[in-house]
A and B are shown apart, each in its own frame.
Chain A
C-alpha cells in the first residue's frame, strides 16, 4: 500500500526535483498512514540510493538492468508499473521533467489511473482525494477529484520544500520483466547543453527579450546568469528570430518555469509570456519603457537601459 515515488537520476545522482517528489510522497504517505517507497532506475551507488531516506523514503527499489541505462519513457513506465503492482501502491508521485512526462501518461494507461498533472500542493483527503493543479498555463488553478483506485500525481517544481533528516532508506534490487516493444525507438543523436544550469530545474532564471537588440548582445545576460548561478531564458520573439535556441523560450507555448527568482530584461510582458512565468516566487522586471505591462506583474522593477543596468547588477552580485 506504500506511496510509490519515481526518483529520477542525473549522472548517478538523485535530481533535486526528485528529492522534492520523495518528500512530497512521504508527506502523502503520512496522511494515508503508510510508508513511502522510491523507485530508482539506472546506475547509482548504494549510498546515493540510501540518501532517498533523508527525504522520507523508507525503501528504495533499484532497477539497474543495463538495458535501462539510457532514459526511456516507455521502458521506465513498465518498471514503475511493476513496482506499483509489487508494492500494491495506490498513489504514484513523479516530479515533472521531460522523462517523467513521457512516463506519466504510459503509466496512467497501464494502471488505469486518475491522473493530475502540474500538481502544486499536498492533497486534501478530507473528502475523497482532491489535488490542486495549475491550469491555463498558470493563469488559473483547478481542484481535481481523483476517483480511480490508483492515483498518479505529477508535481511541479517548487511544490514543496524538502526538510532533510539523517535517515537512510533500505535498498532492494528490483528486476521486473522488460518488454521488447518498449525498446523500438532508436536514439541517433543527442544534443544537450553541458555545464549550464538547465532551465526547467533552475532556482534562478535570467531572461531577456527583443530589448537586447540582437544575439551578439547576450553576453551581458549570460554574465549576470553566471554570477548568480542562474539559467538563461528568452521570450518567444527572440526564439522565433533564432537569436536563442527554442529550449530557452519561456511562455505559453514554450517552457513553463517556476523558479525562486525570475529576472526579465527587455521583455514587455505579453500575456502569453506571463503565463509561462507567473508561478515564479519573485519577479524582477528591467525595461526602458515605464509603461511595459510586465511591471504590473513584477515584485521589483527598474525603469532603465538594460545595457547599463545588467552589467551593474552583475558587478553588485560579484561584490565588485
Chain B
C-alpha cells in the first residue's frame, strides 16, 4: 500500500498573530512553526498503518525552504521519503493542483492530510484533490481502518458521527482521535537526516486567489464584572443591555 501524507508548516497554536509590511505579511519574528496539528494526526495514523499492514509513507509539503524542519520531523516520526513543492501555499486550488499532479504519477492508495490547516482554516484542499483525481474525499475523519482494498471510516457530522465504508483510493481529511500524536525518537531523528527529500517546482495555473492584506480583530471593550451574589443581574443585562436573549 502506498500512502501520501500532506503536511503544512504553520505557526504554533499558542502564537500571538501579528502582521508586518503594512499588514501584508505574517510577522514571523519569534514564531515557532510546527506541523499542522491535524496533519500530525494524519501522519501518526499513516505510520500506524505502515506498521500494521506494511506500506510506504511519503510526506508532501507545498511550501518554501523554511518548511524543511517540519518535513524532517515527519521523516523522523516514520515517513519513508518526502517531497517539497517549492511554492508559497496560499491558494487552496493551487495547492490541490500540486498534490494532484504528484499523486497522478505515483498512484497512492490513500492520500491523508489534516481536516484543515490552522493558518487559513479553509479545509478545502482534500476535497479539491479528490475532485481533480476523480476519487472520493471524506472529512473530518475520526477513525480509519483498512482491510484489503476497503476502508472503514468514522466521520464527524454536526452533533454526531457516521460510519462509512469506501473502496481505495481515497483522499481523507483527518482529525482526532484517529491516532495519538507521535514524538520522534533519537533513532528516528538520526535516520531522518539521510532519508530522501525531493524538491520539485510547482506546475499548473496561476493562483486563483491572493490575500491583499490582513487585519487583527478589534479588541473587546472592557469586561463588566458582576458580583457572584448578584448573579441574577447578568440575565437582566443580557436581556436589556446586550439584547442577546
Is A284 an interface position by the 8 A CB rule?
yes
Partner of A114, one of B157, B208, B211: B208
Is B191 an interface position by the 8 A CB rule?
no
A209 to B19, CA, bound (A): 32
Q: When A113-B208, A141-B214, A196-B159 are in contact, do A106 and B228 touch as well, CB less than 8 Å?
A: no
Is A47 an interface position by the 8 A CB rule?
no
Contact A298 B223, beta carbon cutoff 8 Å: yes
- What's the minimum C-beta distance from A184 to chain B, rounded to whole angstroms? 6
A105 to B161, CA, bound (A): 21
A185 to B221, CA, bound (A): 48
Contact A192 B228, beta carbon cutoff 8 Å: no
- What's the minimum C-beta distance from A124 to chain B, rounded to whole angstroms? 10
What's the dominant secondary structure at chain A's contact region?
mixed
Interface stretch among A29-37, A94-102, A161-169?
Answer: A94-102
17 residue pairs bridging A and B, Cβ less than 8 Å apart: A105-B92, A106-B128, A109-B130, A117-B120, A118-B122, A139-B16, A139-B216, A140-B217, A143-B213, A146-B209, A196-B159, A247-B158, A261-B238, A272-B14, A275-B13, A282-B242, A304-B231
Query: Across the interface, which residues of B come within 8 angstroms of A186, CB to CB?
Result: 164-166
Contact A98 B121, beta carbon cutoff 8 Å: no
A252 to B245, CA, bound (A): 26
Partner of A143, one of B11, B175, B214: B214
A108 to B94, CA, bound (A): 11
Total number of A-B contacts with CB less than 8 angstroms?
273
Is A145 an interface position by the 8 A CB rule?
yes
Is A88 an interface position by the 8 A CB rule?
no
Partner of A185, one of B14, B165, B227: B165
Chain B 205-232, CB within 8 Å of chain A: the 1/0 string? 1111111111111001101111110011
Contact B158 A98, beta carbon cutoff 8 Å: yes
CB closest residue in chain B, given A260: B244
Contact A302 B228, beta carbon cutoff 8 Å: yes
Contact A312 B210, beta carbon cutoff 8 Å: no
